[in-house]
Amino acid sequence: MSSIWSKNPYTGEKLKEYTKDTDSTITEKLKITQSVQKDWANLPITERCNLLDCVSELLLERKEEYANLITSEMGKPISQSIAEIEKCAWACDFYGYNAEDLLADEIIETDAEESFISYDPLGCILAVMPWNYPFWQVIRFAAPTLTAGNTGILKHAQNVPGCAKALEQLFLDAGYPKGCFQSILAGHEEIENLIAHKTIKAVTLTGSEKAGRGIAETAGKNLKKTVLELGGNNPCIVFEDADLDEYLETMLQARMQNTGQSCIAAKRFIVCSEIYEDFISKFIAATKNLKVGNPKDSDTYIGVLAREDLAETLKSQVDKSLEKGAKLVLGNSKDGAYFEPTILTDVVPGMPAFDEETFGPVAAIIKAHDRTHAISLANQSSYGLGAMLFTEDMEAALELIPQISDGAFFVNDMVKSDPRLPFGGTKASGYGRELSREGILEFVNKKTVYLKN
């Protein structure tokens, strides 16, 4: 029977060995979830919301434990791991309070005596989740999806098996029925069979564009719905009137939080020429002040990447950009899974630092001739997850909304997920929405009911 080892990317230490699920154990888990789903769906929504409240309470009670697990398995600085768990509790609180209203029948006036839309659960939903936010990505799927009456199967990233097991136990400890939320430890080769299985009614993936295309193809062959949250190459547009003293720290955080390992990070800083040099000097100074060190230290802001191969990929992207004419003004050293915070200037289309998603602490700075050129450069991407603009001109910002083709547009703040707002992308960043009302309605049957005597 094969196994999976979790490994600390900062120390290189092997942490714990986990047994992979076999075909027979996967089949058994699918049987269990199928047997419990109808009773779970018939449970009054108030009871499902009460259980979600219990999840929130346990998350906060155990936040130090869970945060240490995240930091040990994927290297996130401990203060940011604690913040991740607190955000998970927030999402549970949001749906615990609002789910009954969000799922209420929607009355539609027609020729019938009564007609309405009923929101019924689909069944068992497969979630294929990434390692960069190993609790948050799962909770923002599970909180709305389970509360809507579905059950869930989690196939987590292989480098965070401890997080996967902890999440499964979390729902059991909160009082959820056995089989309502289960984790499967398996490789990519098992996913295709899982999607094809009759018990699985839909699939959600947060991951790379390549993974999304594979999941979509398999799900399409089996006529099953998908929600895909894929990569991003978010532009941070800086107009000439931007208040750098007020917002530079926000821009830096937008790139460097989670050691740059975020799909919604600001990866391309597109700066109008009038403010370009001032921006570079301030951004360099702020980057140099970031505390680099052991992720377990509370004051560490930059730790390590989650795996050494990720650092190697990032190094290759930076080096190829330099070969094409980018200028290195800071960083670009690698040691194992550690990658030094790096700043590139003179970045233009055609370079990996402009065209590709760079998953790590690398900031690409691009000079724009003017505002129009800045917007054109921002939209020059195959991705469309989110864009941010820094300006004092709110009238101009509002006029730009139709020109930004991404799934989110943030003005004078970093792109971020919020349980109250829908989250998702366009183009190669995927489709469908998580969170808010849209998120809880992704995996329900929007059933038309028409009653006429």
How many angstroms separate the CA atoms of 178 and 180, rounded?
6
In sign, the C-alpha dihedral spanning 195, 200, 201, 204 is negative
Phi-psi region of 175 (alpha: psi -120 to 50; beta: other; left: phi over 0): left
Cβ pair 37, 123 in contact under 8 A: yes
Strand segments (E) across 195-330 = 200-206, 225-229, 234-238, 266-272, 327-330
Are β-strands 114-121 and 444-451 bridged in parallel, bridged antiparallel, or unpaired? Answer: antiparallel
With H, G, I as helix, E, B as strand and everything else as coil, classify residue 145.
helix
DSSP class of 181: E
Tally Cβ neighbours within 10 Å of residue 18: 16
Q: Which of 225, 161, 132, 179 is nearest to 29 (CA)?
A: 179
Q: What is the pLDDT along the chain (453 residues), one digit of tens a residue?
A: 589 999 999 999 999 999 999 999 999 999 999 999 999 999 999 999 999 999 999 999 999 999 999 999 999 999 999 999 999 999 999 999 999 999 999 999 999 999 999 999 999 999 999 999 999 999 999 999 999 999 999 999 999 999 999 999 999 999 999 999 999 999 888 899 999 999 999 999 999 999 999 999 999 999 999 999 999 999 999 999 999 999 999 999 999 999 999 999 999 999 999 999 999 999 999 999 999 999 999 999 999 999 999 999 999 999 999 999 999 999 999 999 999 999 999 999 999 999 999 999 999 999 999 999 999 999 999 999 999 999 999 999 999 999 999 999 999 999 999 999 999 999 999 999 999 999 999 999 999 999 998
Residues in the chain: 453
**Cα three-residue angle 267-303-411, rounded to 5 degrees:** 30
Chain centre distance of CA 371: 30
How many angstroms separate the CA atoms of 211 and 207, rounded?
6
How many angstroms separate the CA atoms of 110 and 450, rounded?
9
Residue owning tokens 């391309």: 268
Q: Give whole-number Cα distances, 239 to 61, 99, 282, 329, 373, in Å.
A: 44, 40, 15, 22, 11
Q: Give whole-number Cα distances, 350 to 128, 210, 255, 343, in Å.
A: 32, 20, 21, 17
244, HSE (Cβ side, Cα atoms, 13 Å): 19
228 — phi, psi (to 5°)?
A: -120, 120
* Annotated catalytic residue 65: no
For the chain, domains (ranges, CATH) are 3-230+429-451 (3.40.605.10), 234-418 (3.40.309.10)
pTM of the predicted model as reported, rounded to 2 decimal places: 0.97
How many angstroms separate the CA atoms of 267 and 361, rounded?
9
- What is the model's pLDDT at position 188? 81
How many angstroms separate the CA atoms of 236 and 218, rounded?
34
Catalytic, out of 229, 240, 434, 442: 229
- What is the model's pLDDT at position 66? 98
Tokens of 26: 């996967």
User: Side chain identity at 29, as an amino acid letter?
Assistant: K
DSSP class of 258: G
Cβ pair 311, 337 in contact under 8 A: yes
Cα distance between the two ends of the chain: 62
How many angstroms separate the CA atoms of 411 and 403, rounded?
14
Tally Cβ neighbours within 10 Å of residue 10: 21
